[in-house]
Structure 1
């Protein structure tokens, strides 16, 4: 999901029984402190793994320890300490500062932007040969063309795999 979509998530959007997050809104950067519908104007479900669900449950518990209001169904998952929406650009700046610190301390740590995480997610799923339609739905694109043109960077792994698979297929003929 995008940065503005993540910041607009409410606890009620997460079903911990099924490990599904429903992306319903995004932060409205033109109207501070408010949300808007997603670019596709429709909600979309995103499955999450058990480890991610565990981290979110722990985050909810920590937020609830600060104030029960921060763990209510209508509270923002990544809201500030007062429960208000965070500003997307401020989150990007914070990420960048922390990554600068971390890359100075940890040899070999790759610097990646928040947007880069989204690109990486899509590319790795495609490398794992996940159906591009699934990747499109996870990213919330209205068309498969957007997903394939913008987010599916062809990697050396994908190129080699295609060549090997083709050779194996032809060799069986």
Structure 2
């Protein structure tokens, strides 16, 4: 069968087309466009004919979006392991339940507007909605290149309908809320919250802290590794600035010593113990599981009755409490492991009214 030419974006492209009969004897046309050369088009035509004869050919008009985006993500090579894991979660929890049942070619602007509204109604963070939106949009851009759809519905969305990433929300507890939470329960893993509030360490840093990195004599913690999303200890941190030493108070040292005594007892009574030298671990010594920890975190919030925030907001709580007693931003930057003082100031400038007031008063006194 001949291969046909047509013009695409000012360049010559090629397509094939041929007729077949389905099981009921009804004629249908199979057509595929977008080939750069005749040889490529001819090879694709032969492959499609073979698929049709074997019964494995899939009509583009019958492709369901769930099947398309799942296969598209599986074949995507330019993302790392963590991003793939996050994207798969977005597919499972948000994209497939709302759009998955629709034929790829039938999804239109109305579906997309409703989808965005549904994500917003779920109370998801602006940044999360933007990432989900970008994932779906990228999958449609790919389907355009493969000529599975004629027009991309994303091109029809008004600017006002598109989600905005916005500035990440910074929430934190007051001094009284923090005290109420810490005094509201006892648990073998309470040390996680003590470290988060008193040091501003990230969850992955706390979960991977080793006893060898706790310097009781000099009252220091050395942060050198993290617990990855899949429960594996990684000899790395989020950024170069994340490699740091953190000074801790006598209160934190006392809690660490108490926690270490408990770990030693668990080792003695365990039938089998996997010693990874971890401060935070399961009773058998294995690393804690992040997904299980989230449920534990919610249970403690419900038990104490303290206002609900994200666990990551304990890091912001640490910064807020430090600024409330006029600790210098440079010290907070080093404690939290920000890559620059600009990140600290951009994130927490609204928490420093007292420091600004003191500075203005000091200048006023100086120039009297």
Does the pair score TM above 0.5? yes
Name the counterpart of 1:58. 258
* Matched position secondary structure for 1:46: strand
State which of 117, 120, 127 in structure 1 corresponds to 2:314.
Answer: 117
- Confirm whether residue 163 of structure 1 aligns to residue 362 of structure 2: no
Larger Rg: 2
The alpha-carbon deviation at position 87 of structure 1 amounts to 2.1
Tell me, in whole angstroms, the C-alpha distance in 2 between the residues paired with 1:87 and 1:101: 21
Q: Is the 8 A contact 1:28 1:35 kept in 2?
A: yes
* Matched position secondary structure for 1:134: helix
Cα deviation 1:2-50 (Å, max 9, x = unaligned): 0000000011110111110001011121x43332400124631001000
Task: Rate the CA distance shift 1:168–1:23 in 2: closer, same or farther, 3 A.
Answer: closer
Give the alignment's Cα RMSD to 1 decimal.
2.3
Name the counterpart of 2:223. 23
Q: Is the 8 A contact 2:301 2:307 kept in 1?
A: no
Task: Rate the CA distance shift 1:169–1:25 in 2: closer, same or farther, 3 A.
Answer: same
Name the counterpart of 1:141. 338
* Matched position secondary structure for 1:114: coil
Q: Is the 8 A contact 1:19 1:47 kept in 2?
A: yes
State which of 101, 107, 127 in structure 1 corresponds to 2:303.
Answer: 101
State which of 342, 350, 368 in structure 2 corresponds to 1:154.
Answer: 350
Name the counterpart of 2:234. 35
- Which structure's relative contact order is higher, taking Cα pairs within 8 Å and 6+ residues apart? 1
Task: Rate the CA distance shift 1:17–1:168 in 2: closer, same or farther, 3 A.
Answer: closer
The alpha-carbon deviation at position 161 of structure 1 amounts to 5.4
Structure 2: gaps spanning 5 or more residues: 1-200
Q: Which moved more, 1:160-169 or 1:38-47?
A: 160-169
State the aligned residue count: 162
Q: Is the 8 A contact 2:224 2:243 kept in 1?
A: yes
Task: Rate the CA distance shift 1:136–1:12 in 2: closer, same or farther, 3 A.
Answer: same
Task: Rate the CA distance shift 1:12–1:161 in 2: closer, same or farther, 3 A.
Answer: closer
* Matched position secondary structure for 2:285: coil
Name the counterpart of 1:106. none
Give the structure-2-normalised TM-score: 0.41
* Matched position secondary structure for 2:298: helix
Task: Rate the CA distance shift 1:127–1:61 in 2: closer, same or farther, 3 A.
Answer: same
Tell me, in whole angstroms, the C-alpha distance in 1 between the residues paired with 2:228 and 2:205: 10
Name the counterpart of 1:4. 204
Name the counterpart of 1:87. 289
Q: Is the 8 A contact 1:28 1:36 kept in 2?
A: no
